[in-house]
Structure 1
Amino acid sequence: MGTNVCETLQISSPSFSAGDNIPKKHTCDGEDINPALEIGDLPEETKSLVLIVNDPDAPNGNWVHWLVWDVPPIHFIQENSSPGTVGMNDFGYINYAGPCPSLGTHRYFFRVYALDIDLNLSSGSNKEQVYLQMENHIIGTGQLMGLYSH
């Protein structure tokens, strides 16, 4: 996306391991709350974080479940929290919407981007607006992938 040197962030969750099933609690079949995330190896120049949770296996393509920006450069995102400014997900809501696949097992990517700026976008902005503002400001990125099926 950007032209900056991009470092690898370490993303993990106390709720599930990479490649494992996401607990029901974090899905539409449970409490529908975001899992806690641990973030390691943030670049020193990090001004803010962007968090995007998406499902590339959705029938309509890359479906965004959660979009958050201007998260301070923290190493832990609490379960059931709004750590920054929340944007419009692809369901048309300004909140976390957990995994809820129509058919089969889907992959869900929890991606964190370290930026050298704050985005200062209004709450409810969409993914296109966020991606546009992030361009050329990504200095680190990492992801955690989990699986879910009903």
Structure 2
Amino acid sequence: MSLTITSPAFRNGEVIPTRYTRDGENRSPPLEWRDAPPETKSFVLLVEDPDAPSGTFRHWAMYNIPAGEAGLPEGASAQGLRGAGEGVNGFRNARYDGPQPPKGHGPHHYHFRLAALDVPRLDMPAPAKAEDVWAKALPHIIAEAEVVGVYER
């Protein structure tokens, strides 16, 4: 088996409910994963929108997620996760900020990318940009999975 990530809030390729967008409650959706490699020492999560007019837009990065975790509850960004850090997103916030594509721009695809790492933690300067978190994680990725949600205004 290989690493997989899903959300009880939406199926892969389906619409993200409004409550998880900036048009709604702006809460991070619940996520679940399974089949991480046994050598996993931590996880990193990146949420990005490659359909943004100015290029890929990052909505969230959470890193130093302990290897024993099998998901994140709804609102994990607001609640915090002991030991985990959050990168600065495209809105310049070190937290989850959900979808908010330009009105009339059509459907945008939000990639929730999870990586299993071979290190227990990434030493990141605070505040670190979301893309820098992923760049630091890249050499340590031993497995990767994603679930994609769609949203349009």
**TM-score, normalising length: structure 2:** 0.89
Determine whether 1:30 maps to 2:33. Answer: no
* 2:144 equivalent in structure 1: 141
Offset of 1:126 from its aligned partner? Answer: 1.1
* 1:54 equivalent in structure 2: 48
Offset of 1:119 from its aligned partner? Answer: 0.3
What one-letter code is carried by the residue in structure 2 that aligns with 1:89? Answer: N
- Written as runs of structure 1 = structure 2, the 5 A alignment for 1:117-132 is 117=119, 118-132=121-135
Question: How far apart, in 1, do the equivalents of 2:26 and 2:129 lie?
Answer: 21
**Contact conserved, 2:52 with 2:101, CA < 8 A, in 1?**
yes
* 1:99 equivalent in structure 2: 99
Higher helix share: 2
Question: How far apart, in 2, do the equivalents of 1:128 and 1:27 lie?
Answer: 20
Give 5+ residue unaligned stretches, structure 2: none
Question: How far apart, in 2, do the equivalents of 1:128 and 1:17 lie?
Answer: 25
What one-letter code is carried by the residue in structure 2 that aligns with 1:100? Answer: Q
- Measured against aligned partners, the alpha-carbon deviations of 1:90-117 in whole angstroms (never above 9, x if no partner) come to 1111110001010211000000011011
Q: Which runs of 4+ in 1 moved over 3 A?
A: none
Identity of aligned residues (%): 40
Q: CA RMSD in A?
A: 1.4
